[in-house]
Amino acid sequence: MSRTYLQAIGLTGAGLVTLAVLPGSIAARALFDTKPLDQSRFAVLAQPVGDHKWKLLVLEQIKRRPLCWTPRPDGLIDPSLNNFDFSGICSRYLDSNGYSLRSGGKDLSRRFSLRLVQSGDTLHLQAMDPDQAMPIRVGSATVPSRDRNGFVKLTLNDAWTLERRVYQGRTLSHVYFSHPEPVNRLLAKSEPSSNSPGFTRIGSPTAPQRPDRTSPKSSQETPPTNLAHLGKGPIRLEVIPYRR
């Protein structure tokens, strides 16, 4: 009996070690699945923080009434769920505990973080990996104005949808920003943003210019200084007499 118990413990420990050394992406893909969602019941919003920053949040309308968010005449969104007890009526997803990135069927929550970046009057929702030079563009919005009580509604780019995380057939509350293509392909499609300092400084590539052959100052027609005497007759060399 004692030997059987020890063998069982050994097998369990080996299984845990094997699971622990699996790469994060493989383990995540094995653990989590997804299910589609009714996109009309969700709003992806940007909340102004301070004078320049933004915070990403996702709202879900569980029951039809009262409304969890309401469009304003000025183009902003009023988070009307703050005006009543929204328990059982609305759900909020405020940070990486509530939402993450998924691409090509893989959970990328350990690699990528979602962030909001403003350029002019356009707000970009990006997925950023610290090991990658360029972010993945997930969505965008035009900022009509900045009001601490008014949120900006973002539109997801083509093929991006919200999906629900599923674990062993059980639906969880976690929401994915999901795309069907593999992440490497999305990274390859990423283009340098117009406000990237490096690309602004270097500029776009241009074709090399031909040298001006009509100008007398052309480097191809002006001989080097140390070779200017070539081609003008014999060169006199100093003869050193030989002495015994």
φ/ψ bin of 203: left (φ > 0), alpha (ψ from -120 to 50), beta (otherwise): left
Please indicate, yes or no, if residue 57 is contained in any of the structural domains. yes
59 closest CA partner among 11, 29, 91, 81:
91
pLDDT, position 3: 38
Q: Which tokens is 19 given?
A: 């699971």
Please indicate, yes or no, if residue 181 is contained in any of the structural domains. yes
Q: Which tokens is 155 given?
A: 């539109």
pLDDT digits (tens, 9 = 90+) for 20-66: 334 444 444 558 999 999 999 999 999 999 999 999 999 999 999 99
pLDDT digits (tens, 9 = 90+) for 64-114: 999 999 999 999 999 999 999 999 999 999 999 999 999 999 999 999 999
Please indicate, yes or no, if residue 219 is contained in any of the structural domains. no
pLDDT, position 224: 45
Please indicate, yes or no, if residue 56 is contained in any of the structural domains. yes
Please indicate, yes or no, if residue 162 is contained in any of the structural domains. yes
Please indicate, yes or no, if residue 1 is contained in any of the structural domains. no
pLDDT reading at 15 higher than 60: no
Report yes or no: 182 and 104 within 8 Å, Cβ to Cβ: yes
pLDDT, position 40: 98
pLDDT digits (tens, 9 = 90+) for 194-234: 444 433 333 444 555 665 555 444 444 444 444 444 455 55
The tally of domains found in the chain comes to 1
Angle, vertex CA 211, rays to CA 208 and CA 216, nearest 5: 160
Quickly tell me which residue has 């027609």 as its tokens.
221
In sequence order, which ranges of the chain are alpha helices (DSSP H)?
A: 2-20, 24-31, 183-189, 197-202
9 pLDDT tier (thresholds 50, 70, 90): very low
Report yes or no: 149 and 137 within 8 Å, Cβ to Cβ: no
Please indicate, yes or no, if residue 234 is contained in any of the structural domains. no
Please indicate, yes or no, if residue 151 is contained in any of the structural domains. yes
Q: Which domain holds residue 183?
A: 21-189
Taking the model in full, what pTM does it have?
Answer: 0.68
CB contact set of 59 (below 8 Å; sequence gap of 6+): 42, 43, 45, 68, 69, 79, 81, 90, 91, 92, 93
Q: State the DSSP code for 214.
A: S
